[in-house]
Chain A
């Protein structure tokens, strides 16, 4: 599987070349275009799908999501992938390790990478936010997207990242939810609220922009919804 990123960083698309018998697993809805010979199957993240309704229910609760498997027939094939929002993409080669990825940032991976939705690290801390986390394990290429540009922070000591800016991080890092600066009050008044503190050694990939802040700045102009 070869990945080429185009039009970085504003509205990055990934062009993926698959050899025959190679399978690319993608987030549902990421496909822009494919060559004519591409076979598509849809499953939930676990191979043994337990009925569509049940899967849909789990989808709504944020505990599951559908993924597509693209496999070219009778020769190599081409696949273009995009993302929901504007922004950049990055690739990462898993080398027998785990990467924690913010759910909305996952785009695609090689078939053999294990996608685990069971990771609960932040669950209680970001309650109410519709953020879920994936734990990608094993060996193989991973394709992620971000809202905005992606910048890596090499943590060696302590770093603070606003919770809306995390794309992915090495599982080797310790993290805690805390305040920005010394005072809780000032952290809230300063608009930062809860932030994430990473400790140890490893990399955090950050997105330059916070989708939540952008969304809120649109609210006043949007058509009201019913519920």
Chain B
């Protein structure tokens, strides 16, 4: 069932109109003038086609800022112009510095988190941090440094546990206890990944952990709602208890010959999942098949079929620099990264120290 979120125009408690406009503007990354107009036209739909969980998150977050809104079952036709869109002028591409500054870090709300996977790829569509009054809605978190050096700070509720890729922790509160677990076991070892996932537990009260993935690039979040997603092996960053993380053995034909270590991690269940890329993140909707260099795959949704093949003739196989590619078919979503690890590995070669003989 799809819902729409309607801004009633009523303000809760003693919230001032100015304050509410400011909060709305920050949350949705729109100019204050636009937020003001939105209020003037209330009641107005500010978000359509959301599921119930997402809708509740919005409602709660808005209520926290003193803005009342209601959740309504979506009618089939909602006029597009009634929907407040995040400022799209910064969205697409060209304005380089603006883009980076657009993802400002300092204010907690400006570096708000994406609620659904659709929003993670395009960094400008970040929405807002949700409240974790209901643990089923996921943890509270905050992104900083996106899109080039994404960093996430997750608030762990009292006595709950967050799983984090080994060695990714950058900062934490003193009441957080770290425990190393053998995650994934032998198969994870085969994928060349570090064997360990660390568990961080907030003892005796809420605590935060700041996570910095190792590779330079973006970070994304999705809330799995009994869904399955496939992640390329080094894209895993962190997940909450309800997400089951397992390495899926590719089988020789798919994984071994690719030469690209297209080993996948399967994440399924209910909960938060954070993943990272090397380079920027591109999201593609696949309708009619797509060809992707194996080194650029970050994640894809269940339901897509894929096969590994060479890109052109045999000459291309060796000299095109593309090696093997992944041909996707079916319908679904793919997340790509704009840089490949192999290229970096060969670039770095001349800078490596030379081993002493003997």
Contacts and interface: CB of A to CB of B under 8 A. Distances in A.
Given A29-B343, A33-B292, A226 B355 contact: yes
B350 interface: yes
A82 B352 contact: no
B336 A83 contact: no
Contacts of A41: 312-313, 316
A60 interface: no
A130 B350 contact: yes
A10 interface: yes
Interface stretch (A1-9, A119-127, A131-139): A1-9
Contacts of A227: 354
Given A6-B93, A66-B320, A11 B351 contact: no
Given A33-B290, A38-B291, A82-B339, A10 B280 contact: yes
A195 interface: no
Interface in B313-358: 313, 315-316, 318-322, 327, 336, 338-340, 343-344, 346-355
Contacts of A222: 348, 351-353
A86 B43 CA distance: 45
Given A7-B280, A84-B344, A220-B353, 18 more contacts: A4-B92, A5-B94, A6-B282, A9-B96, A13-B279, A13-B280, A28-B321, A28-B322, A33-B291, A34-B290, A42-B316, A56-B319, A66-B320, A68-B322, A80-B282, A80-B336, A85-B339, A86-B339
Nearest to A211: B347
Contacts of B355: 224-226
Given A8-B94, A33-B293, A82-B339, A40 B353 contact: no
B220 interface: no
B311 A12 contact: no
Interface residues of A, number: 51
Contacts of A6: 92-93, 280, 282, 338
Contacts of B123: 7
Interface of B is mostly: mixed
A83 B340 CA distance: 8
Nearest to B349: A225
Given A11-B279, A13-B280, A84-B343, A32 B336 contact: yes
A8 B96 contact: yes
A52 B319 contact: yes
A130 to B, nearest CB: 7
Given A11-B279, A33-B290, A35-B291, A223 B352 contact: yes
B217 interface: yes
Contact of A42 (B100, B320, B350, B354): B320
Contact of A32 (B92, B296, B321): B296
A4 B289 CA distance: 21
Contacts of A130: 350
Interface in A147-198: 149
Given A11-B339, A30-B321, A224-B352, A42 B315 contact: yes
A226 B338 CA distance: 30
Given A6-B93, A68-B320, A84 B292 contact: no
Closest 8 CB pairs of A and B: A29-B321, A28-B321, A10-B148, A7-B280, A215-B351, A40-B312, A11-B279, A13-B338
Contacts of A215: 347-348, 350-351
B17 interface: no
B100 A10 contact: yes
Given A6-B92, A32-B293, A82 B338 contact: yes
Contact of A36 (B291, B315, B353): B291
B180 to A, nearest CB: 22
B339 A219 contact: no
Interface string B267-305: 000000000000111101000111111001000000000
A42 B312 contact: yes
Contacts of B66: none
B108 to A, nearest CB: 22
A31 B96 contact: no
Given A11-B279, A224-B354, A86 B216 contact: yes
A9 B279 CA distance: 11
B312 A225 contact: no
A171 B109 CA distance: 49
B183 interface: no
A68 B316 contact: yes
Nearest to B319: A66
Most buried by B among A7, A34, A86, A223: A7
